[in-house]
Amino acid sequence: MGQNYCDAPQSSQSVLFVSIVSAFDLMILCSLDPELTSIIFQYSHYKMKIERDQESRSLEDVLGTDLEILTRKNFTVAADDPFPRTIHGRDLKKKARFFKAKSLVYRGLYADQLKEWLQYYTLNENLLVIRYERLNQEPTKVLKEILDFLGAPEFEFPAEAFGQSYSPVIWSESHNELVLSNETRTYLQRFYKPYNDELADLLGEEWRGVWDEGWY
């Protein structure tokens, strides 16, 4: 899928799982439940590789490799994960070189990536972080906040714009086709909990626990 631009704040040219809007030297990051980010967005990439015969492992095998790499990179990984370890030695070292750009699990570690952004931007001065769920649930209010942040004039967005999906078709197809065991889902929720708490430490208490209930 190319470079993870959320992990490259010095570049404002592209977007991946986090929506990035660049205007007047301001940045807007729109974050989604990290568990959902890891599974839905990157599942589409995984599915594409399967269809192209570039991947033969199960999704759980891929998650197991990601967790092994994160452990080697000194990230805290919740114990007793249910995923197999199918890649070892040189192949694992090769994958570890590009884990920030290619790891399904790392894409949801927002706090680690936000720290990079905070080296270049100041929160709520020229960096605004919003939750995708809020944008989806109260679009008029959130869009007004964005316009105010940009210093842009008020704009009356047409009602039909809020009911139209701008997501690629693969989003809904992938979501409907996901078959994850309860064990996998429970583990991912447990895995992301401390990282979500770390994100709340950076962004404020209103972010604490916002994704604790999961998306399923």
Q: Is residue 66 part of a domain?
A: no
Q: Are residues 101 and 3 in contact, defined by beta-carbon separation less than 8 angstroms?
A: yes
Q: Is residue 14 part of a domain?
A: yes
Kind and range of the H or E run holding 170? helix 169-177
d(CA 17, CA 42): 9
Q: List, for residues 104-120, the tens digit of each pLDDT value.
A: 888 888 899 889 888 98
Q: Are residues 130 and 28 in contact, defined by beta-carbon separation less than 8 angstroms?
A: yes
CATH for 21 = 3.40.50.300
Note the pTM of the prediction, 2 decimals: 0.75
Beta strands in 46-179 (DSSP E): 127-131
Q: What is the mean pLDDT of the chain?
A: 76
Q: List, for residues 84-94, the tens digit of each pLDDT value.
A: 888 888 888 88
User: Tokens 């570690």 — which residue?
Assistant: 109
HSE-up of 29 (CA within 13 Å, CB side)?
A: 26
Q: Is residue 99 part of a domain?
A: no
User: Whole domain around residue 178: which residue ranges?
Assistant: 5-56+110-207
Q: Is residue 160 part of a domain?
A: yes
pLDDT of 27 reads 65
- Beta-carbon contacts of residue 148 (< 8 Å; ≥ 6 apart): none
Q: List, for residues 20-60, the tens digit of each pLDDT value.
A: 444 445 666 777 667 666 555 556 667 777 778 877 888 88
DSSP letter (8 states) at residue 127: E
pLDDT of 199 reads 92
Distances (CA, A) of 179 to 59, 82, 153: 10, 15, 45
Number of domains the chain contains: 1
Structure tokens at 82: 């249910």
Q: List, for residues 131-161, the tens digit of each pLDDT value.
A: 888 888 888 898 899 889 888 888 888 877 7
DSSP letter (8 states) at residue 100: H
Please report which confidence band the pLDDT of residue 2 belongs to, taking 50, 70 and 90 as the band edges: very low
